[in-house]
Structure 1
Amino acid sequence: MTTLSQNLLDLSDFAWQRLRNRVEGLTDEEYFWEPFDGCWTIRPADDGYAADGFSEDGLRIPPDPAPFTTLAWRITHIVDILQEDRTATWFGHQPLAEDGQPPTPASAADALVALDRSYEIWRRRLAALSQDDLDRPMGEIAGPYAEHDGTSFALHILDELIHHGAEVGTVRDFYRGTHPDDPFTAALAGELTPTDRPALLAEAAAAQRWEVVPQLAGLGFAVDERTADGFTAAHLAAGNGSLDTLRVLVEHGADLSLTDPRFNADVLGWANWFKQTEAADYLTERTRAGSDA
């Protein structure tokens, strides 16, 4: 039987990987983007006390409704939540000396490094908890939450990771919608090469831009590259029932035996799972023909 500790770790890892995939490719322009006046963000500190030169906007009692917060603010907040001392001390443990204090990342690249490190620290602390740590009231160190047990605090941190991670994804969607980018057109015009963006063909399949997949394959974009979620174009074509695309991918040597990280299924498995009968029949016939050869 799966333990409570393992369930918490599994949920944490799932939420973390979803967030990490959503921030891949983050740029400084997007990181600091303020779509409205009055946004909270991170700014160069004017008091000289911030160790890394930046500080977060904020008030002890935030205004209601709260200001819109930038990706810089939101990601810094997630880093702080995961890495702060209380994710050790409130469970009755002590932070390691090398854990340090959460930084205020001054660039998108720094933010991704800080996110990775903060999650590594949080996950190690979470994995170290015993059942007694999870069951025991946290006591005086937790202030008004003294009578709450460790499990409730672990779930609180996971809720913070999940809901702030969802906000980060939403802001990225908002940014993308107001800053349209069509890398597929750029690739077809020769402005983007397979070296520049190896997984572009898989991205086209994920966007269901089926009409450009054959053209990208003809330009040398690899058919077996994967999206950030680990799906190949063949998985996506089979799951969406795009039979013509699937045939093109097969003609260009797509490896139909590759499995994805979410369902651990090959391309035929996707066709079956998503009830794409024509795609499943086509793949089954190819498998049968191969075994008869």
Structure 2
Amino acid sequence: MTTLSQNLLDLSDFAWQRLRHRVEGLTDEEYFWEPFDGCWTVRKTAEGYVTDASRIPPAPAPFTTLAWRITHIVDILQEDRTATWFGHQPLAEDGQPPTPGSAADALAALDHAYAVWRRRLAEVSPEELSRPMGEPAGAYADHDGASFALHILDELIHHGAEVGTVRDFYQGLRAEDPFTGEVTPAERPALLAEAAAAQKWELIEQLADRGFDVNARTSGGMTAAHLAAATGRLDILRLLIDRGADLSVKDTQFDADVAGWAAWAEQTAVTDYLSARTRDA
């Protein structure tokens, strides 16, 4: 039976991995994109980069850019209270949350902030999760540590979802069919896996013939074989195997191989086929 501490860590890691996949490939143009007038964002000043803010929350709330949202997540995870409210002290190397002025800096800050938060959460004892936080938590002194941990996780989850949605808006407005044209494997090495994720099965053989790697992964960590198995496309799976697909490769989200994905999706024909291959090997 898992403990409350482990459940909190597991939920935190799951939310983090989902967010981290969603921000891969972020560019400066996208990071600072302002789709509407009056957006809150991160702005360069003589003293450095600062986030837009107001002592009195505006109503309705302004649309916030990816720069603002990611900086906010960094601040939530890394601020001192994610240590002090649990009765701990921040380490010197934790530092203070920065205001990143570029997409690359933002991703580095996000990685560091999550590492700080996760270590702090892992250090909280069961007793500290169950007892009132007391004076350091101010108006929330009577709330226990678990309620605060859940609050931080709620912030990570819902702001992470917002980040993903803004990326979808940005990319949707600039959408081009990635499967047309003469893109090369060097330019887009995961294109075959992306075609499988889009269920453009008619393109798989063509892309394999053009030299695209059948074992490449999507940004979510799945190969085309994982996706074919989970959707019951035994014909595509056979094709991929003929072209050298490695069925032992595990995805990066659920740590499951191709047979595991077929079993999870209850694709009996695929599972039977893979079991027969194993017996005959």
- Cross-structure match for 2:18: 18
> How much does 1:268 deviate?
3.2
Structure 1 window deviating more from structure 2 (58-67 vs 117-126): it is 58-67
TM value normalised by structure 1: 0.90
- 1:70 equivalent to 2:65? Answer yes
> How much does 1:263 deviate?
4.4
- Cross-structure match for 1:107: 102
Residue of 217, 222, 236 corresponding to 2:213: 222
Residue of 200, 205, 208 corresponding to 1:209: 200
* 1:147-204 deviations in Å (ceiling 9; x for gaps): 1111111111111001100111111111111110333224xx1xx3323332221111
Structure 1 window deviating more from structure 2 (269-278 vs 119-128): it is 269-278
- 1:169 equivalent to 2:164? Answer yes
Local SS of the residue matching 2:50: strand
Local SS of the residue matching 2:77: helix
Local SS of the residue matching 1:184: coil
Between the aligned partners of 1:272 and 1:98, the Cα distance in structure 2 is 45
Stretches of structure 1 that go unaligned for 5 or more consecutive residues are none
- Cross-structure match for 1:120: 115
> How much does 1:114 deviate?
0.4
Between the aligned partners of 1:284 and 1:121, the Cα distance in structure 2 is 44
Residue of 238, 251, 258 corresponding to 1:247: 238
Over aligned residues, Cα RMSD in angstroms? 1.8
- Cross-structure match for 1:30: 30
TM value normalised by structure 2: 0.93
Between the aligned partners of 2:188 and 2:247, the Cα distance in structure 1 is 22
Local SS of the residue matching 1:9: helix
* 1:98-151 deviations in Å (ceiling 9; x for gaps): 211101111111110000000011111111111222122222222211111111
Across the two proteins, how many residue pairs are aligned to each other?
A: 281
Letter in 1 for 2:129: L
Between the aligned partners of 1:76 and 1:175, the Cα distance in structure 2 is 18
Letter in 1 for 2:81: R
Local SS of the residue matching 2:155: helix
Q: How does 1:79-228 map to 2 (within 5 A)?
A: 79-186=74-181, 189=182, 192-228=183-219
Letter in 2 for 1:195: A
Letter in 1 for 2:265: F
Local SS of the residue matching 1:221: coil
Structure 1 window deviating more from structure 2 (53-62 vs 276-285): it is 276-285
> How much does 1:208 deviate?
1.2
Local SS of the residue matching 1:249: helix
Q: Please tell me whether the aligned partners of residues 17 and 253 of structure 2 are also in contact (alpha carbons under 8 angstroms).
A: no
